[in-house]
Amino acid sequence: MAFDFEQFLGKPLDWELQRCVALIPDQDWDKGPEHIAEKIEDIRAEYEAEKSAGQSREPEYEPENVTHLFRHPRSAVASVTYAAASINQSFEQFGMETAQWLNETPEFLRSLELVPANLKRIGDILANQPQNEASEQALREEIGSLNARIAQLEKELAKAKDDLELEAKPWFEKLALLRTGLAAAIGTVWTVSGDDLGPKKRCEMLAEFWEFFGGPEWECGEEKPAHKLPETELPPTTEA
């Protein structure tokens, strides 16, 4: 969601968050208030996710094994980087298209908006830390945090679907702008944490999300689904 720069100027910020904002490079400030507002929003989202991740672990959501991610770290990093960018771009577009009605992200979308911060930390671990017991544990914990965030998103979306007034909101149809980000988030969760659901359950889960966000009807069964997600290409990667 686009950051309300004017509103931000009149509100006190957490000291650590102020410090992060102060470290924004001069070349970003030179690009004007709209650009800097986007930078501040990215910083705020990542800061809030880090705060929440540091408060408690989510062991019930942590995968038992993450060694497969260290076998091809460049591919995994490319995947989470692409997904994070897709989600951020989706929210930027959603924010621009709904600015006349909304000045902040609807509560039921906050979990999805914060997913890129988890993905960034997963990518940082894989890109910068050698495989050892400590890095594997850090990765398990971060993936657990990501899985917990997706579980929270499921709960929030379930409540939103029962909200009869939501579909009457003037911005409701703009949720379709978030479909690409949503698909990227769900797909990457399966990539980094493993797919324990099985293809049918996985299809049903994604179909429910997809249709709520304005996608065409998606039938799951033994045969191929009636509609498939648009194919996207990840950046080319090579493994040593």
- Residues 112-131 have pLDDT tens digits of 999 999 999 999 999 999 99
Residue 191's pLDDT is what? 77
Q: Is 214 helix (H, G, I), strand (E, B) or coil?
A: coil
Averaged pLDDT score across all residues of the chain: 78
Angle between helices 199-212 and 133-161 (to 10 degrees): 50
How far is residue 191's CA from residue 122's CA, in Å, rounded to a whole number? Answer: 12
- The tally of CA atoms less than 13 A away on the side-chain side of residue 165 is 0
Residue 16's pLDDT is what? 62
Ranked by mean pLDDT, the top range of 26-35, 187-196, 199-208 is 26-35
The mean pLDDT of 6-29, rounded to a whole number, is 67
Alpha-carbon distances, residue 222 vs 43, 203, 209 (angstroms): 44, 11, 20
pLDDT confidence tier of residue 171, bands split at 50, 70 and 90 = very high
How far is residue 64's CA from residue 193's CA, in Å, rounded to a whole number? Answer: 9
How far is residue 118's CA from residue 58's CA, in Å, rounded to a whole number? Answer: 13
Residue 240's pLDDT is what? 46
CB 195 within 8 A of CB 202: yes
How far is residue 44's CA from residue 40's CA, in Å, rounded to a whole number? Answer: 6
Could you give the percent of the chain with pLDDT greater than 90? 32
The mean pLDDT of 12-33, rounded to a whole number, is 76
> Is residue 197 pLDDT above 80, yes or no?
no
Residue 230's pLDDT is what? 43
How far is residue 92's CA from residue 10's CA, in Å, rounded to a whole number? Answer: 22
Please give the angle made by the CA atoms of 169, 175 and 179, to the nearest 5 degrees: 165
Q: Is 67 helix (H, G, I), strand (E, B) or coil?
A: helix
Helices (H) and strands (E) in the chain, counts: 10, 0
pLDDT confidence tier of residue 226, bands split at 50, 70 and 90 = very low
* Residue 228 or 19, more confident: 19
pLDDT confidence tier of residue 50, bands split at 50, 70 and 90 = low
Residue 126's pLDDT is what? 94
Residue 184's pLDDT is what? 82
Burial profile 66-105: b = 16 or more Cβ within 10 angstroms, e = fewer: beebbeebebbbbbbbbbbebbbebbbbbbebbeeebeeb
How far is residue 237's CA from residue 240's CA, in Å, rounded to a whole number? Answer: 10
% helix, strand, coil for the chain, step of 5: 70, 0, 30
> Is residue 18 pLDDT above 60, yes or no?
yes
